[in-house]
Amino acid sequence: MRKADSAKKKRSQRDYNMGFKLAVVQDIEKGILTYKQAQKKYGIQGRSTVLVWLRKHGNLDWNKPGLLLMSKSKETPAQKIKRLEKELSDERAKNTVLNSMIDLSDQYNGTSIRKKYLSQQSSEQDNTKE
């Protein structure tokens, strides 16, 4: 094999801008593509290039096998429980406020939002059974 032939077969390193890297990482973390699909779709030659981007720029911990879904934050289980309990409490309060708003709207405007919604929903279910 001549020198010229071997030079042609060498892969050239390609520089990717940060926006491109972040877009690829985001597509993978959202579950739109796997890292291998992203490599193929965007013509990324290096076998580990996308994995390096995921480790460096992603929001998930890609360094430890089996822990790919763990957040990078170092939240302890107790802290996670506390945060989730607060989120649940906030959602319950929001639900209470929204239900009160519906009740007030029904009272002041003479409407029955819940009844209309529930009867609509049940008639739609009846139609799907036929």
Segment 68-78, tens digit of pLDDT? 444 445 667 88
Residue 3 resides in a domain: no
Tell whether 35 and 51 lie within a shared domain. Answer: yes
Per-residue pLDDT reduced to its tens digit, 89-108: 999 999 999 999 888 888 88
SS3 68: coil
Give the pLDDT score at 88: 94
Residue range 53-60: average pLDDT? 85
Residue range 50-65: average pLDDT? 77
pLDDT band at 123 (very low <50, low <70, confident <90, very high): low
Cross-strand bridge partners of residue 60: 71
d(CA 13, CA 122): 61
Query: Can you give the residue range of the structural domain that contains 91?
Result: 77-129
Closest CA to 34 of 19, 20, 54, 17: 54
pLDDT band at 130 (very low <50, low <70, confident <90, very high): low
Residue range 39-47: average pLDDT? 87
Give the pLDDT score at 10: 44
Claim: this prediction has a pTM higher than 0.75? no
Query: Total domain count for the chain?
Result: 2
SS3 76: coil
Per-residue burial over 41-59, b = 16 or more CB atoms within 10 Å of its CB, e = otherwise: eeebeeeebbbebbeeebe
- Which residue, 73, 101, 117, sits at the end of a domain? 73
Residue 48 resides in a domain: yes
